[in-house]
Amino acid sequence: MKIKLNKFLGFLILLNLIIILSCQKDYDKEKTSDFIKIKVVKVVDGDTVILENGEKLRYAGINTLERQTESGEVEPFAEEAYQLNKNLVEGKELYLELSFREKDIYGRLLGELYFENGTTVSEILVQKGLALVCYYPGNNKYYEKYLPLQKEALKQRKGIFSLIDRFPKNFPLVGNQNSKRFHLSDCKEVKKIKKKISFKNLEEAFLKGYCPSRECFKFRSNFFNSSHIGT
């Protein structure tokens, strides 16, 4: 009787193990089904590429500075971001994960490109200080993932953040808590902000995960010689 009971218990343990492994296999399958293997045919700039199906993909978790501006000037480290992005992905197959919000107002796909080892292109750009981690509706997953990497790049003064010390330590900025964008204190857009937060300087704003607003803060090279910069 004891032998039969042991055999029965052994059978139950084996059955449970099979069920657990089966569930794990289904989970892994479900997890990988969110990724689409796709080829990048062209890099547009540091955060935008063209895929083999003709769609433009904008990286959902970051923003790189502009290579093309209204004034014709290239923003600092925009070219470096473009070149690195190009070296990493152009002509290569990667894994695309679409963002919760799949397209932006310009019709571009929003998502992240992954390598086989699970690293994203955005991670590399952020680690080198060539991209800013910015909040967008639907991208909270990436925002929270990349923000610690940006803080480390800021601490080491890499890339864009090597410019931080050109600004005075007392450089008042006003942030919008809804959009997580910061503005110069004298920017006309500040009056429209309902939920404000004050920062004493650029470093504090970046550490809190805020990005410069497009309306009144430009990272063009001549900005660093403007009247906003103190001595």
pLDDT at 217 over 80: no
> Which residues are annotated as catalytic?
58, 66, 108
Global pTM? 0.80
CB 202 within 8 A of CB 57: no
Q: What is the pLDDT of residues 77-125, one digit of tens each?
A: 999 999 999 999 999 999 999 998 889 889 999 999 999 999 999 999 9
Q: Enumerate domains of the chain plus CATH numbers.
A: 34-165 (2.40.50.90), 167-231 (3.40.10)
Exposure letters 52-74 (e unless 16+ CB within 10 A, then b) = eeeebbbbbbbbbbbeeeeeebb
Instruction: Give the whole-angstrom CA distance, residue 112 versus residue 43.
Output: 14
